[in-house]
Amino acid sequence: MKSLRLPWKVNIEFSSEDEDEFNNATLTSTFDKNQGYSDIGDPIMQCQHCGACMWYQERKRKHRNATTPKFELCCGDGRVQLPLLESPPPFLHHLLFDIKEKDSLNYQDNIRLYNMMFAFTSFGAKIDRSMNSGRGPPTIRIQGQPCHRIGSMLPLPGQFPKFAQLYIYDTEHEIQNRMEGIR
């Protein structure tokens, strides 16, 4: 078993015989609690291609000692170019960013519900929940291929319309049907 020592007291152990194969690598942390707070500063560098804020330590390997470093983590050193987002319409901008207004706070608190109400499909996948047994942020690991489920155009008898059915079935009661979908 080969071990690689990195800064910040993190060890990566390779249990594979082939050192280039990282599939069987395990990560163990030996953080010293007595060390205290560790701060690497603000990301003061900027990618020359996309303008992303970066830390100096994130520069490309071949530019380790460069005074004008190049970065790959953001845009692949200029190989990926995404257009800038357009400004949202004034009303949507108000709902998204005006945190002093009651309707804006309500919108921000319920934004996922609003998004779900207008969804035409449902996301489906076999989810492995074993990743969330310890501490740390929730993680989703999907096994196999994810899919989008699209139901029939009409609901089954006795069931409320959902997804695309909300736009086709019983348009007189459309708002009430959408509200039932989130309860």
pLDDT tens track for 12-70: 444 444 444 444 444 444 555 566 677 778 888 999 999 899 988 888 877 666 788 88
28 shares its domain with 51 = no
* Structural domain count, the chain: 3
What DSSP character marks residue 159? Answer: S
135 shares its domain with 163 = yes
pLDDT digits (tens, 9 = 90+) for 127-136: 777 777 777 7
pLDDT value for 90:
93
Domain that holds residue 66: 40-84
pLDDT confidence bin for 167, thresholds 50/70/90: low
Order of strands, sheet of 2-6, starting from the edge strand that comes earlier in the sequence: 2-6, 10-14, 25-29
56-62-67 Cα angle (round to 5)? 45
179 shares its domain with 124 = yes
45 shares its domain with 30 = no
The rounded mean pLDDT for the chain is 73
**Rounded Cα distance, 149 and 75, in Å:** 33
Residue 38 contacts residue 31 (beta carbons within 8 Å): no
Q: Which residues contact 145 (CB under 8 A, 6 or more apart)?
A: 125
Residue 70 is which amino acid? K
pLDDT value for 170:
58
pLDDT confidence bin for 166, thresholds 50/70/90: low
In a domain, 11, yes or no: yes
Residue 160 contacts residue 139 (beta carbons within 8 Å): no
Is this structure's pTM higher than 0.85? no
Helix (H, G, I), strand (E, B) or coil at 61: helix
Element (H, E) at 113: helix 111-117
